[in-house]
Copies of this chain bind each other. A is one copy, B any other.
Amino acid sequence: MNTSKIAHRALRINRTPLKHSVRHRSTRAASTCPLPTPADRPSFPCVEAHAARESRILNSGNPPSIFSTQFPSQPSSSSSTNTGPEPPYARPSPTSYKTYHHSEPLPLTYAPSLPQFDVAYETWGSLSPAKDNVILLHTGLSASSHAASSELNPSEGWWEKFIGPGKALDTDQFFIICTNVLGGCYGSTGPSSIDPTIGQPYATRFPVLSIFDMVRAQFCLLDHLGIDKLYASVGSSMGAMQSLAAGWLFPERVGKIVSISGTARSSPSAIAMRFAQRSVLMADPNWNNGFYYGGLPPHTGMKLARQIATITYRSGPEWDQRFGRKVRSITPVQSSNTSPSNLNSDSRKLPRTPALCPDFLIETYLDYQGEQFCLKYDANSLIYISKAMDLFDLTSSSLASLNLTPPQPTSSQPPEPPTHSSHPSSPAHRYYHSQLSHSKHHPPPPNPPPHLPELAEGLMPLANTPTLILGVQSDILFPVEQQREVADALRMAGNQMVSYYELGGVWGHDTFLLDVQNVGGAIRGFLS
């Protein structure tokens, strides 16, 4: 047995879990004295990147503290420049948001109550004296409360172009609140938070959450702020689920609902994609059943998970246009196929040698996105929140199984636009109504899904809430069929104030982050 083989085996065996590692380590540890990899063996920079990242974390001397509820900051050192038109991803610091501490227990959907919790939040605009101009903005899975720049945090937010004076969420009219969700890692209570009963992070002792739990926590904050009724509940992606859940739980307290690229019932194909992400994450030995706080986080699993997620955020047509089949211009550093000595040579001029590591630009893009993300978000938060998305289902049978009694729909009229509403002749207003007339003609589905009547029954509490449903035809994560399904179910539930938009374009699920003109225009029109 050569030494490199010994080294490999040592690595492998030490990776086995506790009960096995003990046995193997005791018999093999003495023989582990590895030498460098033989020169004839190829190297793989994409694999070495994981070890290099780990080394950087260790050498920085700044692993996350086991007694800190703040998820750690680690710089990303990826040198790729394939950023493209990605949305900004700014991580908040503890001083860049406000925190509401709720000291009473919060009953949960699937578990007894959380004893207490924090909700981190940020606001834009001014609260009117009547407190009637409030928009609650819900985030997607991994976004923080930092939706837009502010005095407290001047860095760009994830919806920077949608929030501000005259923008889709007009701060001249509205007071906008965005929270970090329960279960998250940006200031709200989540798996990385200290369990006050034991003085250690919850880790996977944290209870499984539902979207309803997240929304209830948000409404505790609203209670604290003295806000009785929202002008609107607005969200995209998971935020759209929260937006619908808010209207469902508190129909009397939600004036309008905006649901963009979301769903009222997570589909098996979306569950499959999130399951794949959780699987690669949980298979990272650093995950350690969720108990990694104070040690190294599962950064490799997080990178792999984000690569998979990124595939679902855009569309094939966008990649066709953006990357096509282009490859890196740099000759890949990989010797596996660069004329190895054991292959016969001939006089032919060989083409550029492809690499097994990222080589096509689509690969380097995914690699870069994974690298950028893997130390910015808590792995357990990703697991819990993605699971909450999977569990979301507003069909009546699902709601019944959760012992959720549907609230009675409000019989009140749609809210009056706040002061300073845009004039009917304004471009935003005209744009909205030109689209609305189209959406009103959205035909009923030729083959409605069998659960549609049940979904309509489940959505009864929203029967009197004006609702905007916006979908994107190139979205593969929340496909347009699901958007139509929500709109159809709402109408079947008796809601005559459903606006339905369907956008083209190639940006897929991420359209809500990028298409200021169409997404922003639809929201602005609907809210005016």
A492 at the interface (CB under 8 A from B): no
Q: How far apart are the CA atoms of A346 and B115 in the complex, in Å?
A: 11
A273 to B5, Cβ gap below 8 A?
no
Q: Please determine whether A15 and B15 come into contact, CB atoms closer than 8 angstroms.
A: yes
> Is B268 a contact partner of A316 (Cβ separation < 8 A)?
yes
Whether the Cβ atoms of A54 and B346 lie closer than 8 Å is: no
Question: Which of A34, A268, A479 has the largest count of B CB atoms less than 10 A from its CB?
Answer: A268
Which residues of chain B are near A344, meaning CB under 8 Å? 105, 112-115
For the complex, is A438 an interface residue (Cβ under 8 Å from B)?
no
Please determine whether B316 and A479 come into contact, CB atoms closer than 8 angstroms: yes
Contact B204 A351 (CB under 8 A): no
B11 near A11 with CB under 8 A, answer: no
Does A225 belong to the interface (CB within 8 Å)?
no
Bound Cα distance A20, B10 (Å): 12
Which of chain B's residues has its CB closest to A33's CB?
B22
**Contacting pair B285 A11 (CB below 8 A):** yes
Contact string against B for A residues 332-347, beta-carbon threshold 8 Å, 1 for contact and 0 otherwise = 0000110110111110
In the bound complex, do residue A324 and residue B12 qualify as a contact, i.e. CB atoms below 8 Å apart? no
Q: How far is the CA of A337 from the CA of B197 in the complex (A)?
A: 16
Tell which of B18, B113, B346, B353 touches A346, judged by Cβ atoms closer than 8 Å. Answer: B113
A240 to chain B, nearest CB (A): 18
Instruction: Answer whether A342 and B11 are a contact pair too, CB < 8 Å, given A272-B311, A320-B268, A403-B348.
Output: no
Q: Which of A73-117 contact B (CB under 8 A)?
A: 105, 107-115
- Against B, the Cβ 8 Å flags (1 = close, 0 = not) of A343-362 are 11110111111101110111
Which size class do A's interface residues fall under?
Answer: 35 or more
How far, in Å, is A232 (CB) from chain B's closest CB? 29
Which partner residue on chain B sits nearest A352 by CB separation?
Answer: B401
A366 to B11, CA, bound (A): 28
CB-CB nearest in chain B for A380: B356
A273 with B110: in contact, given A325-B398, A351-B402, A479-B316 (CB under 8 Å)?
Answer: no
**B280:A280 contact, CB within 8 angstroms:** yes
Q: In whole Å, how far is A80's beta carbon from the nearest beta carbon of chain B?
A: 14
* In the assembled complex, A151 has its CB within 8 A of some CB on chain B: no
Is A442 in the interface zone, CB < 8 Å from B?
A: no
Known contacts A112-B345, A272-B366: A387-B339 contact under CB 8 Å: no
Residues of B within 8 A of A278 (CB): 356
Chain B residues with CB under 8 A of A10: 14, 21, 25
A366 touches B276 (CB 8 A): yes
Say yes or no: is A198 at the interface (Cβ < 8 Å to chain B): yes
- Is A123 in the interface zone, CB < 8 Å from B? no
Question: Which of A39-47, A409-417, A429-437 is the interface stretch?
Answer: A39-47
Q: Which residue of the partner chain B has the closest CB to A55?
A: B20
A17 to B296, CA, bound (A): 14
Query: Which stretch from A216-224, A286-294, A518-526 is at the chain B interface?
Result: A286-294
**Interface check A207, CB cutoff 8 A:** yes
When chains A and B are docked, how far (Å) is the Cα of A17 from the Cα of B115? 41
Q: Are A291 and B8 in contact (CB under 8 A)?
A: yes
Is A195's CB within 8 Å of the partner chain B?
yes
Return the chain B residue nearest A7 by Cβ. Answer: B18
A418 within 8 A of B: no
Q: Which residues of B contact A105 (CB under 8 A)?
A: 344, 346
A195 to B336, CA, bound (A): 14
Q: Does A150 contact B (CB under 8 A)?
A: no
**Given A12-B295, A393-B325 in contact, is the A112-B346 Cβ separation under 8 Å?**
yes
Residues of A within 8 A of B (CB): 4-5, 7-12, 14-22, 25, 29, 32-34, 36-37, 40-44, 46-48, 50-51, 54-55, 58, 66, 105, 107-115, 195, 197-198, 203-208, 265-269, 271-273, 275-276, 278-280, 282-283, 285-292, 294-296, 300, 304, 307-308, 311, 315-316, 319-320, 323-325, 336-337, 339-340, 342-346, 348-354, 356-358, 360-363, 366-367, 383-384, 387, 390-391, 393, 398, 401-403, 449, 451, 476, 479
